[in-house]
A and B are shown apart, each in its own frame.
Chain A
Amino acid sequence: MTSATPSVELAIETRGLTKRFGHQTAVDGIDLAVPRGAVFGFLGPNGSGKTTSIRMLLGLATATSGDIAVLGQEMPGRLREVLPRVGALVEGPAFYPFLSGAANLRRLDTADPGASSATRAARVNRALERVGLTHAASKKVRAYSLGMKQRLGIANALLVPRELLVLDEPTNGLDPQGTREVRSLVRSLAAEGTTVFVSSHLLAEVEQMCTHAAVMSAGSLVAQGTLDDLRRVGQAHVRVRTPDVADARRVLAGLGLVADRVDANRTAADRSAADRTATDRFGAPGDPNADGLLSAPLADGAVAAETIVAALVADGVRVRGFSVVGASLEERFVALTGEGFDVVQ
Chain B
Amino acid sequence: MVSELTVLFRRRRTWAMLLALAAVPVLIAVAVRLATSPVAPGRGPPFLDRVTQNGLFVAITSMVVCIPLFLPLTIGVVAGDTIAGEAGLGTLRYLLVAPAGRVRLLIVKFAGAAVFCLAATLTVAVSGAAIGAALFPIGPVALLSGDTIGVGESVLRSLLIAGYVTISLLGLSAIGLFISTLTEVPVGAMAATIVVSVVAQVLDALPQLDWLHPWLFSHYWLDFADLLRQPLEWTSFGNNALLQGGYLLVFGALAYGRFVTKDILS
Contacts and interface: CB of A to CB of B under 8 A. Distances in A.
Contacts of A62: 261, 263
Chain A interface, >50% SS class: loop
Given A55-B265, A62-B263, A110-B3, A96 B96 contact: no
B43 interface: no
Interface string B1-44: 01100110011100000000000000000000000000000000
Interface string A100-125: 00010011111111010000000000
B115 interface: no
Interface string B96-131: 111111001100000000000000000000000000
A113 B3 contact: no
Contacts of A227: none
Nearest to B85: A96
A113 B104 CA distance: 10
A58 interface: yes
Interface in A41-68: 55, 58-62
Interface residues of A, number: 33
Interface stretch (B87-95, B170-178, B225-233, B240-248): B87-95
Interface string B253-266: 00000000101110
Given A80-B101, A94-B89, A108 B95 contact: yes
B181 to A, nearest CB: 15
Contact of A112 (B10, B93, B100): B100
Interface in A109-148: 109-113, 115
Interface string A78-108: 0110011010101111111111000100111
A86 B97 contact: yes
Contacts of B10: 98-99, 103
Contact of B99 (A61, A79, A99): A79
Contacts of A95: 89, 91
Contacts of B95: 108, 111
Nearest to B94: A108
B185 to A, nearest CB: 15
Contacts of B93: 55, 58, 60, 90-91, 94
B97 A58 contact: yes
Nearest to A95: B91
A205 B26 CA distance: 62
B91 A83 contact: no
B260 to A, nearest CB: 11
A77 to B, nearest CB: 13
Given A60-B93, A90-B93, A156-B94, A113 B264 contact: no
B170 to A, nearest CB: 24
A143 B20 CA distance: 28
A143 to B, nearest CB: 15
B94 A94 contact: yes
A97 B85 CA distance: 12
B96 A59 contact: yes
Interface string B126-164: 000000000000000000000000000000000000000
Contact of A108 (B6, B98, B104): B98
Contact of B3 (A79, A90, A93, A106): A106
Contacts of A84: 98-99
Contacts of B6: 103, 107
A84 B101 CA distance: 11
Contacts of A115: 98
Contacts of A88: 94, 97
Given A60-B263, A62-B261, A96 B7 contact: yes
A24 to B, nearest CB: 13
A90 B89 CA distance: 13
Contact of A98 (B12, B96, B98, B104): B12
A237 B224 CA distance: 87
A80 B264 contact: no
Nearest to A79: B99
B264 A55 contact: yes
Contact of A83 (B11, B98, B104, B105): B98
Nearest to B96: A60
A80 B100 CA distance: 9
21 contacts: A55-B263, A55-B264, A58-B96, A60-B265, A61-B265, A79-B99, A80-B99, A84-B98, A84-B99, A88-B94, A90-B94, A90-B97, A93-B90, A96-B89, A98-B11, A98-B12, A99-B10, A106-B3, A111-B100, A112-B100, A156-B94
Interface of B: 2-3, 6-7, 10-12, 89-91, 93-101, 104-105, 261, 263-265
Given A55-B263, A61-B265, A96-B89, 16 more contacts: A55-B264, A80-B101, A88-B94, A91-B93, A93-B90, A94-B93, A98-B10, A98-B12, A103-B6, A103-B10, A110-B2, A111-B98, A111-B105, A112-B99, A112-B100, A113-B100
**Minimum-distance CB pairs A-B, first 5:** A94-B90, A111-B98, A111-B100, A83-B99, A110-B3
